[in-house]
Amino acid sequence: MRGKWLWIIPVVGVALLALSLFIAACAPATPQIVEVTKEVVVEKEVVKTVVVEKEVPVLVTPTPEVKKPVKIELWVDPRFDPQTAKGHPELKTALDYEKMVANDYIKNNPHVSVEIQVLDWADLPKKVPVAIAGGVPPDILRDYLGRTSAYAYEGVTVNLEEVVPKEELADFLPGLLELYTINGHLHGLPIFYWVQNMVVNAAPFEKAGLLDMLSLDDHDWTFDEFYAAAKAIKEANVGVEYPLVMQVASEQGDYAVHAFIWGAGSNTWRDDCQGLDLDNPQALAAMEFLNKLYKEGLINPDVTTAGWQDVNNLFYAGKGVFMGGGISTVNVSIPQAQKEGKVTAPMDARLTLYPHLGDKPSGLPVGPTGLVMFQKQGRSDYELQEITKFLIHLSSEKWQRDYCISSGQFPTRYSVGAPLAGDPNYELTLEWIKKYGVVSMGLNCPHYYEVRTAMPAFFQAMFLGKMTPQEAINGMMKASKDIFGK
């Protein structure tokens, strides 16, 4: 019988232990005197170690502040796919990359959880507006300015100048912040930007002994010089069929066509952003020049229906030698295509500038990508602060540097410096920006996407001989006026 009650001994023991721990935990923090060492400067350049007394709290006190959990929804483009982006061979998918960036924040902010969606390029312009209209937008979106500006005009984004500290904004390039300022409010934080120019495959020119025609010493060439080079390489019988490969089937990558308009000395958009600005002799000259190139077989014949992949394939196959592109084309896309065996012709891809009509080349088109925060009903001030902190993390100096290296982009913060310094293409592009400036693509104008989408049909009509260059310009101007309701 006595042995039957022996189990009570360990149970009581454990209970007493738990009670003592509980009492200890709830006890008020009593200061203790402990010895710590501190270095003090006694005399110039003489350091002495002394013992001082200091009050420190006891360890059992629950000092760390417990923050309320916050869930952040982040939607991003698939730009950092480790298969094509540089620098993280250990990662497999674009989502892995985004998780890496988010986890870097979460490790110091365990109360924050981030739900990430990587949307493909086709889904980005569809899923986001539907989510906004449905009242369930993400907290943060990373996307191109040409699309986020439309959300800003709709008034659904958070005014970032009200939540992001001024000292933080002071680190960003002011010109880019200006691009992101719509109706007086900063609708997004630019985190990197591309600069586009022209890519030329110099290999066929070298083979044909025509390298001098490319003006690769100063990259400054006129429409006539470009025309002469294109014609000469086509006639040189080195496999080049359509020297300039491009597409006007869609608005994607339209800078490659508009570059001729800028090169001729015209803007595409009015300075006040209220529509197109093509009704001038310079724009007409550019259109006539493009039309002449097409009619003489110097532009790919499927220009009206080709996709960007088709354009790339023509370039990789050596059928074309000039196409639109930037640092990432030369540093990332072409080497990747070579690795995959898609490049079937000798390739010596180099960056150059688009030709011009006036006395100097035009400015370069710049396309920033930024972080936008959407307004959400029921979001508390605390949540807004936490989301802002995460937004700043995503645009931080550390990660901007990584974005730039991964995908050949330019940073938007002064503090990032030049992450690709030493890369000749990067240096060259920076030099061009300094020398020639940038051009306005109208990315932050109202109805930008609608006007932009209306333009290809007129280029197509011109190339197919259904409209003269002047009629195509008139058509674009009318479409723009109709869209703006004028």
Partner 1 sequence: MTVLAAYPERRRTWWQKIWDARAAYLFILPAYIPFIVFVLYPLINGLRLSFYEAGVNKAKWRFIGFDNFVRLFTRDDVFIIALKNTFLFVLIVVPVVVVISIFLAVIVFPLPRAAQSFVRMSFYMPVVSGGVVLAMVWIWIFNRDFGLLNYLLEIAGFYKLLGIPKIGWLAQTETALLSLAMVVISWSIGQPLILFLAALGNISEELYDAAKIDGASGWQIFWKITLPLLRPTTLFVLVTTTINVFQVFVVVLLMTLGGPANATQTIVYRIYENAFVFYKYGYGAAMGVVLLLIVGSIAYFQFKLLGQEVEY
Interacting span for partner 1 (CB under 8 A) from 93-101, 204-212, 274-282, 303-311: 303-311
Please report, as residue ranges, which positions from 445 to 464 form the binding site for partner 1 (by CB under 8 A). 447, 449-450, 453-454, 456-458, 460-461, 464
Which lies closer to partner 1 via its Cβ, residue 332 or residue 457?
457
Binding track, positions 230-259, relative to partner 1; x by CB under 8 A: -------------------xx---------
Candidates 168, 171, 302, 471; binder of partner 1 (CB under 8 A) is: 302
Residue 322 C-beta-side C-alpha neighbours within 13 Å: 26
Question: How many residues are recorded in the chain?
Answer: 486
Candidates 92, 111, 295, 466; binder of partner 1 (CB under 8 A) is: 466
301 lies in the site for partner 1, by CB under 8 A: yes
Q: How many residues bind partner 1 (CB under 8 A)?
A: 36
Tokens of 98: 């985004």
Which lies closer to partner 1 via its Cβ, residue 57 or residue 301?
301
Please report, as residue ranges, which positions from 119 to 148 form the binding site for partner 1 (by CB under 8 A). 125-126, 129-130, 132-133, 135
Interacting span for partner 1 (CB under 8 A) from 175-183, 204-212, 401-409, 475-483: 475-483
123 by DSSP, 3-state: which? coil
Beta-carbon contacts of 50 under 8 Å, excluding residues fewer than 6 positions away, are: 37, 38, 40
Instruction: Give whole-number Cα distances, 66 to 57, 263, 380, in Å.
Output: 18, 59, 17
Tokens of 168: 């933080």
Interacting span for partner 1 (CB under 8 A) from 96-104, 295-303, 345-353, 409-417: 295-303
- Of 218, 158, 198, 164, nearest to 182 by C-alpha is 158
Distance CA 441, CA 262 (A): 10
Which lies closer to partner 1 via its Cβ, residue 155 or residue 209?
155
304 lies in the site for partner 1, by CB under 8 A: yes
Interacting span for partner 1 (CB under 8 A) from 150-158, 187-195, 198-206, 342-350: 150-158
Candidates 199, 284, 467, 476; binder of partner 1 (CB under 8 A) is: 467
Beta-carbon contacts of 421 under 8 Å, excluding residues fewer than 6 positions away, are: 427
* Cβ–Cβ < 8 Å for 97, 91: yes
Which lies closer to partner 1 via its Cβ, residue 297 or residue 363?
297
102 lies in the site for partner 1, by CB under 8 A: no
Task: Count Cβ atoms within 10 A of the Cβ of residue 264 and give its class: 0-12 exposed, 13-18 middle, 19 or more buried.
Answer: buried
484 lies in the site for partner 1, by CB under 8 A: no
Helices (H), 202-307: 203-207, 223-235, 255-263, 281-295
478 lies in the site for partner 1, by CB under 8 A: yes
Q: Give the shortest CB-189-to-partner 1 separation in angstroms.
A: 21
Q: Give the shortest CB-195-to-partner 1 separation in angstroms.
A: 26
DSSP string across 293-304: HHHTT-B-TTTT
Please report, as residue ranges, which positions from 358 to 397 form the binding site for partner 1 (by CB under 8 A). none
Please report, as residue ranges, which positions from 305 to 364 form the binding site for partner 1 (by CB under 8 A). 305
Which lies closer to partner 1 via its Cβ, residue 225 or residue 302?
302
DSSP string across 148-212: HHHHHHTT-B--GGGTS-HHHHTTB-HHHHHHTEETTEE-EEEEEEEEEEEEEE-HHHHHTT-GG
Paired strand residues for 372? 141, 188
* Cβ–Cβ < 8 Å for 343, 316: yes
User: Which residue ranges make up the site for partner 1 (CB under 8 A)?
Assistant: 125-126, 129-130, 132-133, 135, 150-151, 154-156, 249-250, 301-305, 447, 449-450, 453-454, 456-458, 460-461, 464, 466-467, 478-479, 482, 485
